[in-house]
Amino acid sequence: MLKCRTVWRKLAPLARASSTLCRQNVKRTGLHNARLPAHVPTAHMATGPARGGGENQLYVLLVGATCLGGAIYTYRTVKGDQHRYEERIAEIESRPHRSTKEATTTVQMEAPDVPESEAQATPSPEESSPPAPDAETAAPSETTEPPQEPSPLSEPGPGEQTDPSPATEPAAAGSPAAEPSEPQADVTESAAGLDTAQPSLTLPSHAPYLLIGGGTASFAAARSIRARDPGARVLIVTDEPDLPYMRPPLSKELWFSDDPAVTDTLRFKQWNGKERSIYFQPPSFYITPEELSNAENGGVAVLTGKKVVHMDVRGNKVKLDDDTEISYDKCLIATGGVPRNLQVIDRAGEDVKQRTTLFRKIDDFRSLDKISRTIKSITIIGGGFLGSELACALGRRSHDSGLEVIQMFPEKGNMGKVLPEYLSNWTTEKVKTEGVKIISEALVKSVTCNEDQLEIKLKDGRLVKTDHVVAAVGLEPNVDLAKSAGLEVDSDFGGYRVNAELQARSNIWVAGDAACFYDIRLGRRRVEHHDHAVVSGRLAGENMTGANKPYWHQSMFWSDLGPDVGYEAIGIVDSSLPTVGVFAKATAKDTPKAATEKSGTGIRSESETEAVASSAVASPTPAPAVMHKDDYGKGVIFYLRDKVVVGIILWNVFNRMPIARKIIKDGEEHADLNEVAKLFNIHED
């Protein structure tokens, strides 16, 4: 209404001036023509000299237009003021501090009606004033995240502080009651247990960067996003109860720890003797999901124990398993995979499934560690990386505990799908020396439970009795969101099909085990290794911030059969391909333990620069036949396709991965691979 008066005060003088001017013109015209104004007809006030009527008509139109415009403006202003007035009233009514004051007054006025227990817990204004500074001290620097008090109905969230007094509770974030001027009202209200208390902070309804999955790829993407956009708000949603952690130690170093509390601390000594945690970062690195929306400098929040069950690509939002919806600007799918199980076990009864472990997560490590200490026999089905690593780890434990460790697989030797036959056989003998009983060429026909023992019947008639089974037969990419999101799944390799920038849609990226990408050198692939998760996650994070970089990196992977035997590999390593191996005598420094002592790290992966790699020089002479000896101390195995090296394994040869990466990237034919092997310095003592 104030605006209407102001407008009228501005328009009224203009209207009066226009009317006065018209009357003066009429009078002046009459005098000039020796006519009295009284003779002028009322309908022709603007009469005047010849050719002068148009000017008076212009004034009339101006006055009319001014009045009409003023009326329209006044109408719109009044309507706008009314709308703003209603919004203001609604906002004032929604403020909780008024009801808080009223509720406080009611409690204080009706003190005799309060039960004795509550009356004792409710301090008077004089008694409640001293704790006020403590409440202020406990509050964070931002008033949007005050500490929450524990109560019988709710537990404090991560990072929330608690006060030993159960009778007081600071006000919720953002309310006027949180100000120092009214601390008593909040204390009284909380003690009375009124329903008018403000609700606790809720999960964010929107995340600029949403990362689905809490594994290595998601963490690498989050770090990359924050590096390029320091103020970015990143939300990681994972169905696991743990913060992002690295998976390789679950089947390697953790099993060789001397700490009896390793399952609780999840800290381990690397082969070089240095200790570290399995988690990428401590909890202090992250902010809580409730803080994410109001974090001035952004941050990374992890929402644990929640699973994304539906994805609306058009609406840019996801739905969690508790029906919570979170919208996003850009999204990364890094859901990894789930352990594949044997069909005979899936079809078996619950008694068999309860005695079977599918090894993948921290909980699986803890469970298997506990089980292995209470049973007499355990059987590992699978001869790949995971199965062989677990077999060696449990075999070492069997020396002290007397645990019988059996490993069975359909191939002729350990890692028969990866290593050449001669090297696979040598590896099998190495695993046997660790105390593992090997059953090769074993095809499982059925698994049954009889008298608290599992009976594994093979197709050739052999019968194996054991107390527990570990199925390590591969990984199935998690593509549960493909149907609701309308994303394409590769029919050959599995996983979400993405382009060179790891994009599945304009604002959706995929990284890690779940990504089926196109390798410019080796064709379409899907890789299930730590280094690939790190590099693809990092690249996806960069592209989510506008980098638009293609994925050209040749990721590596490694496996250790204890501290004495290990290998690193890159490219396509498939035992069905032709191979050429060049070996030399190993020394004391050619072990995983010695390699980590030299490099200072136990996680051998990622980000090796090609600056130290030199070009491979081929010799014009043909390659001589390689003599395979019984002891393969160290060497290089080349995997060929159409006479071009597409894969390399460095057997007990470490810190030479940049050279192998360059050889594959060059994609050249080599007449003598013995000369190429010299680039790795395998003949040096």
DSSP state string for 263-316: HHH-EEE-TTS-EEESBSS-GGGSB-GGGGGG-TT-EEEEETT--EEEEETTTT
CB atoms within 10 A of CB 11: 17
The answer to whether 675 touches 668, Cβ cutoff 8 Å, is no
DSSP state of 265: H
What would the pLDDT profile of 467-491 be if each residue is shown by its tens digit?
Answer: 999 999 999 999 999 999 999 999 9
- Candidates 562, 554, 553; CA nearest to 652 is 562
Per-residue model confidence (pLDDT) at position 60: 82
- Candidates 589, 565, 582, 558; CA nearest to 638 is 582
pLDDT band per the 50, 70, 90 thresholds, residue 24: low
The answer to whether 40 touches 26, Cβ cutoff 8 Å, is yes
Pairing of strands 508-510, 325-333: parallel
What does the alpha-carbon distance between residue 512 and residue 533 come to, in Å, rounded to a whole number?
4
3-state helix, strand, coil in the chain (%, to 5): 40, 20, 40
204 pLDDT above the threshold of 80: yes
**84 against 200, higher pLDDT:** 84
User: How much is the mean pLDDT over the chain?
Assistant: 77
For residues 200-209, average pLDDT: 84
- For 340-474, CATH gives 3.50.50.60
For residues 578-593, average pLDDT: 80
pLDDT band per the 50, 70, 90 thresholds, residue 252: confident
Quick one: residue 468, left, alpha or beta (phi over 0 = left, psi -120 to 50 = alpha)? beta
Three-state secondary structure call for residue 292: helix
85 pLDDT above the threshold of 60: yes
Q: Decide if 206-244+280-336+478-545 and 340-474 have a common fold.
A: yes
What does the alpha-carbon distance between residue 585 and residue 563 come to, in Å, rounded to a whole number?
18
Per-residue model confidence (pLDDT) at position 34: 47
The answer to whether 439 touches 406, Cβ cutoff 8 Å, is yes
How buried is 545 (Cβ within 10 angstroms: 0-12 exposed, 13-18 middle, 19+ buried)? middle
- Determine whether domain 206-244+280-336+478-545 maps to CATH 3.50.50.60: yes
The answer to whether 306 touches 322, Cβ cutoff 8 Å, is yes
pLDDT band per the 50, 70, 90 thresholds, residue 558: confident
Residues of the chain with pLDDT > 70, as a percent, come to 68
For residues 540-553, average pLDDT: 93
The answer to whether 466 touches 453, Cβ cutoff 8 Å, is yes
- Candidates 205, 489, 221; CA nearest to 329 is 205
What would the pLDDT profile of 350-396 be if each residue is shown by its tens digit?
Answer: 999 999 999 999 999 999 999 999 999 999 999 998 999 999 999 98
CA distances from 166 to 149, 162, 196, 290 (A): 7, 9, 18, 23
DSSP state string for 565-609? -EEEEEE---TTS-EEEEEE---TT-SHHHHHHHHS-S---S---
Specify the residue for token string 């001027």.
181
Domain 556-679 fold:
Enolase-like; domain 1 (3.30.390)
DSSP state string for 216-257? HHHHHHHHHHHHH-TT-EEEEE-SSSS--B-SGGGTTGGGG-
What is the Rg, in whole angstroms, of the alpha carbon atoms belonging to the chain? 38
Three-state secondary structure call for residue 9: helix
What would the pLDDT profile of 280-318 be if each residue is shown by its tens digit?
Answer: 999 999 999 999 999 999 999 999 999 999 999 999 999
What does the alpha-carbon distance between residue 308 and residue 207 come to, in Å, rounded to a whole number?
14
Residues 6+ apart with CB under 8 A from 198: 96, 171, 172, 175
* Residue ranges of domains in the chain: 206-244+280-336+478-545, 340-474, 556-679
DSSP state string for 508-538? EEE-GGGEEEEETTTEEE---SHHHHHHHHH
The answer to whether 280 touches 238, Cβ cutoff 8 Å, is no
Reading the block at residue 610, the tokens are 């090609």
